[in-house]
Amino acid sequence: MKQFFLNNIRAIVVGALVWVCIFASFTVLSFLPILQDSLDKQALIVALLIVPFATFGAFLYYKNGNKDNGLMVGLVMVVTAFSLDALITVPLMEIPNGRGYQSFFSFSLLYLLAAVNALSVYLYWRFKIVRQ
């Protein structure tokens, strides 16, 4: 039980690190003149960037010999990201720009980003951890 708890804490910390990378990517992209007015284009670029971010997060999670199911680890990371979005992104970035929780969490590409994140962690686990 203690190991399960510690592994979940580890997945939350790694998920927060991946979220910081994603948040920073959106921030940088929002300042590029060609992309600043297109959230869809920003989200699609970030969807490509999530693959290396999540893969690096999976590497960090599994580097000490953890063998936990990659889908579960990916889902913990996604829930962590959604929690940080609810606590930080929406209040600090969305609400001041006239948007809110409903518009943020109803943005369909958000769920594509979450799926890419969880799938990247799962595939890392499947091909790097399970096959060992």
The lowest-confidence range among 5-14, 46-55, 84-93, 95-104 is 5-14
Q: Give the tens place of pLDDT for each residue, 34-58.
A: 887 888 899 999 999 999 999 999 9
Q: Give CA angle at 104 (100, 107), nearest 5°.
A: 145
Q: Give the tens place of pLDDT for each residue, 95-127.
A: 998 999 999 999 999 999 999 999 999 999 999
pTM: 0.90
